[in-house]
Amino acid sequence: MKIAILTGASVGIGKEAAERFRDDGFQVFNLSRRACPLDAVENIACDLSDPDAIAAAADRLLGSIGSAESVALVHNASQMRKDSVADCADEDLRAVLETNVVAINALNRTMLPALPTSSSITYVGSTLSEKAVPGSFSYVLSKHAQLGMMRATCQDLMGRGIHTALVCPGFTDTEMLRTHLGNDQQVMATIGGMNSFGRLIDPAEIAELIHWVHHNPVINGAVLHANLGQKEA
C-alpha cells in the first residue's frame, strides 16, 4: 500500500497533487479545514494553526500507515498575507508561522517514526524561498524557513532511506494568488508575462513535479525551481 498525506489539498496545487497521487494508486489523505472535492480522497478536518488539531490528525494517520510500503508526506498548505517589515504585527507573524512552519515541524516530528524506507517529505515553497518582494514580509520569512527546514531534514535523516526536496513554484494560477492580488485581471496578466513562456503556471504542472519528487530519491536535498524561467529584475 502506498499513501500520500497532503496538507491543503482542497484547492489549487494541493488538489491537483492529490489527484495525481490518487491516479497512481496511492491512498490519499487531505489535512485541511476544507474538504478536497475529489473522489477517493480521505479528508481529515484540521486547522493547521491549532496544535491540538494537528495532534488529533496525526493520531488518526498513524493508525493508517502502519502497513504502508511508502509514504509521500507533502507540506503544501500556506498562509499568505499582505504585510511589510514596518507594519507586520506580532500576532499576524505568529499566525503565518504556525501554519507555514510550526505545523510542518509538528507533523514531521509525529509522523517520522512511522515512515517506512522509500518515503519522502516534500516541502512546497515558492520563488520567495530564495528572494523577496515588497509587501509579503511574513510569507517571505516563512518560505525562507521552509528552505532551511528541507536542508536540515536532508541532513538529519541520513541513512533512513527517506528523501526530501523543496519545490519552488513561480506564479501559479491558484486561489491564493488571485486573492493576494485582489482578483485584478490586469495584474494577473502582467505577472503571467514575467517568464519565458508568458503565462501563469497551471497547478497541475506543479502537482506533476511533486509526484515526480516522491519517485526520485536522487534529488534528496534539492531545491527545484518550477517557474517557467522567471525573469529576474
CA distance 172 to 228: 10
Residue 152 sits in a domain of what CATH number?
3.40.50.720
Can you say whether residue 19 is alpha, beta or left, with left for phi > 0 and alpha for psi between -120 and 50 degrees?
alpha
Q: Is residue 183 part of a domain?
A: no
Beta carbons of 3 and 29 less than 8 angstroms apart: yes
Q: Could you tell me which of 69, 173, 152 has the C-alpha nearest to residue 115? A: 69
Q: Which three cell numbers stand for residue 94?
A: 505568529
CB-based burial label for 82 (10 Å; 0-12, 13-18, 19+): middle
Q: Is residue 59 part of a domain?
A: yes
Structural domain count, the chain: 1
Q: Is residue 55 part of a domain?
A: yes
Confidence of residue 185 (pLDDT cuts 50, 70, 90): confident
Confidence of residue 233 (pLDDT cuts 50, 70, 90): low
pLDDT tens readout for residues 95-126: 999 999 999 999 999 999 999 999 999 999 99
Q: Is residue 188 part of a domain?
A: no
Q: Is residue 71 part of a domain?
A: yes
Residue 184: its pLDDT value, please?
66
Q: What is the CA radius of gyration of the chain?
A: 17
pLDDT tens readout for residues 56-98: 999 999 988 988 999 999 999 999 999 999 999 999 999 999 9
Q: Per-residue pLDDT averaged across 147-155, rounded?
A: 98
CA distance 113 to 131: 33
Q: Is residue 84 part of a domain?
A: yes
Residue 51: its pLDDT value, please?
95
Residue 171: its pLDDT value, please?
82
Could you list the residue range(s) of the whole structural domain that residue 157 is in?
2-172+202-226
The gap from C-alpha 78 to its chain's centroid, in whole angstroms, comes to: 7
Q: Tell whether pTM > 0.75.
A: yes
Beta carbons of 228 and 41 less than 8 angstroms apart: no
Question: Is the per-residue pLDDT at 189 higher than 90?
Answer: no
CA distance 16 to 204: 5
Q: Is residue 13 part of a domain?
A: yes
Q: Is 151 helix (H, G, I), strand (E, B) or coil?
A: helix
Q: Is residue 182 part of a domain?
A: no
